[in-house]
Structure 1
Amino acid sequence: MKNPDHRTPTPEPLFPLKRIAIDLHYLPTLEFFAAIYGAEELLLFPDDLYQRQSFLNRTRILLANKVETLSIPIQGRRPKIPMRLVKIDYSQKWQAIHLRGIQSAYGKAPFFEYFFPYFQKVLEGHGASLWELNYSLLTICLKLLRWPVNLTVVENGQIPEEVLDLRGLIDPKRHFSQNGYYQAHPYVQVFGVDFEPNLSVLDLLFCHGPQAEELLKQSLKKP
């Protein structure tokens, strides 16, 4: 009997463990989603320390002539503090910059008009916490990918047994080829002749909509 939504059944994940501890990134990269592919539960730790120059407050999108990094400014330059205490600095008007950048990058993408309102609503809000913003955006990404993943917030910071801990491994300073999760699988992008790998999942969602899940599966790094 044919699958009613014509989607390929989800394969077993690369790792036998289906509970994964992961950092809460801002509009995560394709490497992030390749790393959690097949997981049934993601464990998130609000008391983990905020790391500067990380994916916790930045993402990458493809404009007409370059890859642009979008960064969320945070209040103060204090020593490392728990993610749940990191406050967003709205005095810098970053929301308009990010929304304008996303519209410039993907306004002509096939699925932009369908998916953009989900992100626009969250990005136009004024939640004080970076943690809350990232959590809301990750929930939307998983919804649009149609991944039935449970998100569990671990308040005490203790990692349970039988959990694959990927925290700290997906980082802008560490090329994705150094990890064992994602390999570049070209797909049609809005701009450029040469494929630009490992952008924000926005790139894949806006360009390919319901095919995003299948394309992500093809980008899983083979053992």
Structure 2
Amino acid sequence: MTIGTYFLHRKSKSPLSQIAIDLHYLPSLEFFAAIAGAEELLVFPQDRYQRQSYLNRTRIRLANKVETLSIPIVGRRPRIPMEEVRIDYGQKWQAVHLRGIQSAYGKAPFFEFFFPYFHDIFESEEESLWRLNQKLLTVCLKLLRSPARITVAEEGRLSSEVFDIRGQIEPGRPFSERNFYHPVPYTQLFGVNFEPNLSILDLLFCAGPEAGRILQESAKKQ
């Protein structure tokens, strides 16, 4: 599916049946705006790991700054399949991430309702980065009440009906250079000015049941 066809679907509000995605770590609002309305999300365990990507990092808002949380991986072998990337638990990263999330959102209105879902996944000590991201995305879709289902797919030629956004959402370029996400402000815990495109955690903990509506409104319809 071409970009033009994608936005034609958005404008007409007709369903986007399938979107091929990367499995990001606690994805950004841009990611969820891009998949808004999808019925099926195709993920590919054989896709290659990309350094300096959102595959192992996410952004949260603390009292005085925006913090990037990164998951350390075993070794530095570039371009290996995602399903082979192993998480380095020798660096005790879960404690750092959990402490950061609690510091950032512990007083957010919906923190106590949603945090246990994520805490349990962190505590499971999943060895595979790909599997960890898949579990986290599954929980996020559930909490957003999204009808989208995740399907593990094999490498090969995609149908012309599939919109492929793999490799497009990356930290090296601002979201404004892409056509997926138009920020819709909501009340955040810290700061005077709205900080767009943080981790989905920011929206879930701050907006609760309104998160799904905000994401729908944030999806660009050009």
- Shared fold, TM over 0.5: yes
Which residue in 2 is equivalent to 1:132? Answer: 131
Q: Which amino acid aligns with 1:140?
A: V
The answer to whether structure 1 residue 55 and structure 2 residue 57 are counterparts is no
Q: Which amino acid aligns with 1:69?
A: T
1:150 to partner: Cα distance: 1.4
Q: Which amino acid aligns with 1:52?
A: R
Which residue in 1 is equivalent to 2:164? Answer: 165
Deviations 1:136-165 (A, max 9, x none): 000000000000111111133443341001
Which residue in 1 is equivalent to 2:198? Answer: 199
> When the two structures are aligned, how many residues end up with a matched partner?
212
Q: For the Cα contact (< 8 Å) 2:50–2:78, is it kept in 1?
A: no
Question: Which 4+ residue blocks in structure 1 deviate beyond 3 angstroms?
Answer: 12-17
The answer to whether structure 1 residue 114 and structure 2 residue 113 are counterparts is yes
The answer to whether structure 1 residue 45 and structure 2 residue 44 are counterparts is yes
Larger deviation, residues 100-109 vs 157-166: 157-166
Q: Which runs of 5+ in 2 are unaligned?
A: 1-8
Q: Which amino acid aligns with 1:82?
A: P
Give distance in 1, aligned partners of 2:118 and 2:192: 27
Q: For the Cα contact (< 8 Å) 2:184–2:217, is it kept in 1?
A: yes
Q: For the Cα contact (< 8 Å) 1:47–1:157, is it kept in 2?
A: no
Q: For the Cα contact (< 8 Å) 1:87–1:130, is it kept in 2?
A: yes
Which residue in 2 is equivalent to 1:180? Answer: 179
Give distance in 2, aligned partners of 1:178 and 1:41: 26
Q: For the Cα contact (< 8 Å) 1:27–1:137, is it kept in 2?
A: yes
Give distance in 2, aligned partners of 1:13 and 1:202: 25
Give distance in 2, aligned partners of 1:18 and 1:180: 19
Percent same amino acid among aligned pairs?
67
Give distance in 1, aligned partners of 2:216 and 2:164: 21
Output aligned runs, 1:142-161, within 5 Å: 142-161=141-160
1:51 to partner: Cα distance: 0.2
Q: For the Cα contact (< 8 Å) 2:18–2:41, is it kept in 1?
A: yes
Give distance in 1, aligned partners of 2:37 and 2:155: 26
Relative to the length of structure 1, the TM-score reads 0.92
Q: For the Cα contact (< 8 Å) 2:61–2:67, is it kept in 1?
A: yes
Q: Which amino acid aligns with 2:99?
A: R
Give distance in 1, aligned partners of 2:73 and 2:151: 25
More helix by share: 2
1:173 to partner: Cα distance: 0.7
Q: Which amino acid aligns with 1:102?
A: I
SS at match of 1:61: strand
Larger deviation, residues 181-190 vs 94-103: 181-190
Give distance in 1, aligned partners of 2:109 and 2:156: 41
RMSD value over aligned CA atoms?
1.3
The answer to whether structure 1 residue 30 and structure 2 residue 29 are counterparts is yes
Q: For the Cα contact (< 8 Å) 1:45–1:157, is it kept in 2?
A: no
SS at match of 1:18: strand
Q: Which amino acid aligns with 2:155?
A: N
Output aligned runs, 1:95-114, within 5 Å: 95-114=94-113
Relative to the length of structure 2, the TM-score reads 0.92
Q: Which amino acid aligns with 2:166?
A: R
Deviations 1:35-94 (A, max 9, x none): 000000000011000000100000000000000000000000113100000000000000
